[in-house]
Each structure stands twice: as structure tokens, then as C-alpha cells.
Structure 1
Amino acid sequence: MDRRHRTSLLIAGKLAVLATLALPPLGSAETPATATDLTTAATTFQRASGGDDSAIAPAATQFTTLSRQQPLDPLLLAYAGAATSMQARTTWLPWKKMGYAEDGLAQIDKALSLLTPAHDTVPPRGVPVALETKLTAAGTFLALPSLFHRGERGRRLLDEVMQHPAYAGTPAAFQEAARKIAAKAAP
């Protein structure tokens, strides 16, 4: 993995989690995850996206566990996928790099497929689940090398987030994260 790709993954992960850390904990109404578990996972993810390679596997495990507890929560699955794809930077073996990236992308694709119109409503946290899920996916897609052919989809998702009617009412940290990903994605 080249230095540019590693830096892009770091930035995308950091920006995506910025929105999570600036807001109260997420979780579905059916079986809410404890705030402690979510805070721990978000903190671990932030360390991983900040360059602490030793935090990548724990972040992936924590978000995967939370996602399994709430299988219909697309946001938890998107973060699990983002963390899983970050694991590509922890190995030199090309087939493992591809495996981590592809597994993470599959999780993110599934998270996006779980989105329904109900996820567009603005919860008390101020960010619709659909927007945060799409921003997490866009950040990951745009950080990947072109061989994954996700750049265009990442740009479309980012445009959807920034043009959504609820976007203007989201917290400043979320909007800043979206603007930073957009600036990084600009040619």
C-alpha cells in the first residue's frame, strides 16, 4: 500500500469518526447498545484512524460486535466496514490487503442497502442515520486506490449527503467532516 493510500485512509477514517464523537451515542431503538460500548468503539476507531495501527483490529472487532448485536443498524455496519477495510494497512501480504479491503467494502455495501426512508428522519442526535452512513461510506470509498472503482460512487454519496435537506441542520462537526472529505476528493 503506498503512502498516499495510507494517508487517505487515515484522513477518511478520522473525518468519518469526527461526526460520531461530536454527537451523543448512536444505536437503534430496538436493542440499544450501551453508551460505554459505543464510546469505546468510537475512541478505538479514532486512534486507529489517527495512525495507531494497534487499534485497527480492536476497532473492527468492537464495531463488528456492536453491529451483530444490532444487525439492522446500517451505521454500525458502515463503521465496522470502514474499520475492517483499514486492516489492509496492517499487513504486507497482498492477498490479505485485498481481503480486508473487500470484506470492509462488502459490509459498507450492505449497510447502504439497509437504508430506508426511515433513516432519513432527524433523530435527537441531529444527524440522520442515512447521512452519517453515507458519509462514512463516501470517506472510505474515496480513500481507496482506483483499482477498487469506488471513487465515483464515493463522490455521488458525498453529493447526496451535502445536498440532503437535513444537511443544513446537522451539527457543525458533521458538516465540517463532510467538507473535509469533499476537499480531499476534489481533483
Structure 2
Amino acid sequence: MSPSFMPRALALATLTLAIGTSQAAPDTQFQPAFQRFNQGMAGDKAAVDDAAEAFDKLQQAEPTSPVLMAYSGAAIAMKARTTMLPWKKMSFAEDGLAMLDKALALLTPAHDAIGQHGTPASLETRFVAASTFLAVPDFMHRGARGNALLAEVLASPLLAQAPLPFQATVWMRAGAQAAKENRVADARRFYEQVVQRGAPQAEQARAALQGLPS
């Protein structure tokens, strides 16, 4: 390595570390928002509003964080479930999807660094976007992009570096999508991976396996 290259390499490493740490919200703020987000995903309408508000505040504090922007966009899109008014449903969905597009556009190789809760920022951003794109109605034409992003996450070597609960969340989502598309063998493979690794979602995966056609 030449002497002239070393300062540039050190500067790049320092920049990567700075991006990976400066854009991460403190766990004391992120985890409650994340918990409400998951409760909203499970159908708690009040939790959806709480998550949207919490992630909006976190994202405003770190406006260039793709992870926080992705969760904020996903929470806004989820608000479409909380209203019966068609124009509000569309407004929430479109605003949330636009924010997810912006989060994806922010990603650079530097975001392969750890972001929130020990997970590479680029991986989590893509997964949150994929999950949301696959959840919106077909007429919004996001399914193909969602499947492509989910495939990128599954194939990424970064997935092995992520905590097991995140890995299992990805496998569970992939299993659900495979089951929806009648790819039973793929669905079984993803769910069995969750069980074999002893992930926190193992019981959920066992139940999903029992629901698959034999």
C-alpha cells in the first residue's frame, strides 16, 4: 500500500464509521418506536399512529438516515389501514411509498455499516421497503420491486452479520411471500430455517409450517 493511499483509506474508513454511527438513533428512543411499529404491523391501529409519530420525530432529528426514513415511510403507509376514507388511504399510501423511495435513494456503500440494533443500515432499509411494497395493493404496482428487494436482502452476505431476530424476520417474510405465491417448497425451507436456528420466531414458524399444504 502506497503512503499516498493510506490517508485516503483511513479517511474513507473514518467516514464510513461516522455515517454508520451518527445516523443511528439512541436505542432508548428507537426501541419504543420499533416496538409500536411491530404492534401496528400486527393490527393495533393506535400503535400505527404512535409509530408514525415516533419515527417522524426520530427522522427529523437524523434527516439523512435511510433506516429512520424507511421506518417513517412504512409507518405512514400503514396509516392507510386506519381510515375508511378512500382519499386518505391513497394519500397515506402514496406519501409513505414516496418516503421509502427516497430512503432507498439515499443508500451508498457506506450504509453497509451497522445502523440500528446491530443490523447493517442498507439491509434494514431494503427490507423495510420490500415488506411495505409487498403489503400494498396490487394496483399500486410495487410487488415486483418488493420481490426484487427481498431477494437482494436474502442474497446479501450482510444478512449473516445481522442479529438472529432480524435474520428470522427476513426468513419469515420470505416464507409468507413464497406461500402466497404457492411456492410451498421455498416457504417450507424458509420456515424450517427459523426453527433450526432457534430464533425467537420459532413457534410462529412451526405454526406456519403446519399451515402449509402437504
Q: Summarize deviations over 1:144-169 as a string: whole Å, max 9, x none.
A: 11011011101110111111122223
Aligned to 2:185: none
Aligned-residue offset at 1:183: 1.6
Distance in structure 2 (CA, Å) of the matches to 1:113 and 1:31: 16
Residue type of the partner of 1:101?
A
Aligned to 2:107: 115
SS of 1:71's partner is: coil
Aligned to 1:82: 74
Larger Rg computed on CA atoms: 2
* Long gaps (5+) in structure 1: 1-26
- On the 8 A contact 1:122/1:166 being kept in 2, the answer is no
Aligned to 2:204: none
Distance in structure 2 (CA, Å) of the matches to 1:97 and 1:46: 20
TM-score for both structures, normalised by structure 2: 0.70
Matched, 1:71 2:63: yes
Aligned-pair identity (%): 47
Residue type of the partner of 1:146?
D
Aligned alpha-carbon RMSD (Å)? 1.9
Aligned to 2:40: 48
Aligned length: 161
Aligned to 1:19: none
Point out which structure has higher relative CO (alpha carbons under 8 A, 6+ apart): 1
Matched, 1:97 2:89: yes
Aligned-residue offset at 1:28: 5.5
Aligned to 2:11: none
Aligned to 1:23: none
Distance in structure 2 (CA, Å) of the matches to 1:157 and 1:38: 24
Aligned to 1:135: 127
- On the 8 A contact 2:20/2:110 being kept in 1, the answer is no
Distance in structure 2 (CA, Å) of the matches to 1:141 and 1:85: 10
Aligned-residue offset at 1:114: 0.5
TM-score for both structures, normalised by structure 1: 0.80
SS of 2:22's partner is: coil
